[in-house]
Amino acid sequence: MTCCTIILNYDEATAPEREAGLEKAAAIIRRGGLVAFPTETVYGLGADALNPEAVGQIFTVKGRPADNPLIVHVADLDQAAALTTGWDDRAERLAAAFWPGPLTLVLPRADGFPDITTAGLSTVGLRLPGHPVARALISQAERPIAAPSANLSGGPSPTRAEHVIADLNDKVPMIITAGDCRVGIESTVLDLTLETPEILRPGFVTAGAIFEKTGIRVTMDPALNTARQNYAESGWKPKAPGMKYRHYAPKAEVIVLRGPAERIGPEMKRLCQIETAAGKQVVEWRLNELSPEKAAFELFDRLRRADLEGADIILAGTVSQTDGDLSFAVMNRLLKSAGYHVIDL
């Protein structure tokens, strides 16, 4: 693999360093290399979306299953429209309301798209990210950029500079860091190929916000409400291929305590005493005391930190969530990290 990754700390760089760094990154993308870069959701690992060899390297570096399609990041609406045969009024309204931002639109892919980018699907997920560094990189590369989250497959998505460096240093030619990602969980993935659009992966842009801003009603992929950990045996089949993998799994065992706050506290204390007495190192998370925004912002960092601190068990207290709001998106990630181990109180 690549040795000696160039790391550009964008926040601390001078204006000329930023300019030279972005130029370098764009050149790496143009000649088929990989660059990790910040977005407003999580860090991404980018390659030229139209270059099959470049995209192939993303799968290799991450250890990503070949059946999991990549989101293609664009610099503007024209570039998005050129990558699909289905840019319609709904797409236009959604883009006007939420782009640049944490919403991915799944649409029929244009002819000539490399199969590897979309994992052979006839659709492509398009997103115009809100982070200025991401936007500058895509514009300067003059290519659409395929980018999954910049973690090794199976681990939590990186939301801080140190996460992306821990996972990818010396594995890619260049990493651009710019502090913490504002949102903290990945974009909402919305399938627009259906008559009623469907949320395949919940995120910061909620069904309620979509309706409020565009008048478009969307439903949730029913698989999102099925707490199954064994995809193969259950026949549970989410429409976004990536949603079927056990993601975000820390080394520690995660147990979700779900219910009213007045029950979570005592039960957490009880379980903590039992496990501590058994010699386990226990971490207690009172996510129920945080706003959904703050829980989203902190979740992946908490998972990584628990591992670094050598935790054996994470007890995660959480309020029961309602369909369609941000707490549902946070809960989706938490349940995956817990392998659906939930105690309902």
Site residues for Mg ion per CB under 5 A = 148-149
187 binds, among ligand TXA, Mg ion, none (CB under 5 to 8 A by kind): ligand TXA
**What's the DSSP call for residue 239?**
S
Give me 338's structure tokens.
């817990």
CA distances from 86 to 27, 92, 110, 122, 317 (A): 31, 11, 8, 11, 43
Site for ligand TXA in 163-222 (CB under 6 A): 186-187, 189, 200-201
The reply on whether position 147 binds ligand TXA by CB under 6 A is yes
> For strand 71-73 and strand 145-146, is the pairing parallel, antiparallel, or unpaired?
antiparallel
DSSP string, 176-207: EE-S--SS-SPPEEEE-SSSS-EEEE--SS-H
Among 68, 139, 214, 219, binds ligand TXA (CB under 6 A): 68
48 binds, among Mg ion, ligand TXA, none (CB under 5 to 8 A by kind): none
Cβ nearer to ligand TXA, comparing 108 with 259: 108
The reply on whether position 71 binds ligand TXA by CB under 6 A is yes
Q: From CA 12, how far away is CA 18, in angstroms rounded? A: 9
CB 282 within 8 A of CB 239: no
Q: Least Å distance between CB 248 and Mg ion?
A: 9
The reply on whether position 123 binds ligand TXA by CB under 6 A is yes
Q: From CA 303, how far away is CA 155, in angstroms rounded? A: 9
CB 25 within 8 A of CB 174: yes
105 binds, among Mg ion, ligand TXA, none (CB under 5 to 8 A by kind): none
Cβ nearer to ligand TXA, comparing 104 with 321: 104
243 binds, among Mg ion, ligand TXA, none (CB under 5 to 8 A by kind): ligand TXA
Among 5, 51, 57, 149, binds ligand TXA (CB under 6 A): 149
Site for ligand TXA in 300-319 (CB under 6 A): none
Among 95, 165, 192, 243, binds ligand TXA (CB under 6 A): 243
> Three-state SS for 253?
strand
Among 242, 250, 317, 324, binds ligand TXA (CB under 6 A): 242
Among 21, 44, 202, 292, binds ligand TXA (CB under 6 A): 44
DSSP string, 256-325: EEES-HHHHHHHHHHHHHHHHHTT--EEEEEGGGS-HHHHHHHHHHHHHHHHHTT-SEEEEEEPPP-TTS
Among 36, 94, 175, 240, binds ligand TXA (CB under 6 A): 240
Q: Least Å distance between CB 198 and ligand TXA?
A: 10
The reply on whether position 121 binds ligand TXA by CB under 6 A is yes
Percent of residues in the chain assigned helix, strand, coil, to nearest 5: 40, 20, 45
Cβ nearer to ligand TXA, comparing 173 with 242: 242
> Three-state SS for 240?
coil
Q: Least Å distance between CB 64 and Mg ion?
A: 8
Helix or strand (DSSP H, E) at 60:
helix 52-62
Cβ nearer to ligand TXA, comparing 32 with 241: 241
Which of 21, 79, 86, 87 lies closest to 50, judged by CA?
Answer: 79
CA distances from 129 to 47, 72, 319 (A): 15, 10, 30
Q: Which residues bind ligand TXA (CB under 6 A)?
A: 39, 41-42, 44, 68-71, 102, 104, 106, 118, 121, 123-125, 127, 129, 147-149, 186-187, 189, 200-201, 239-243
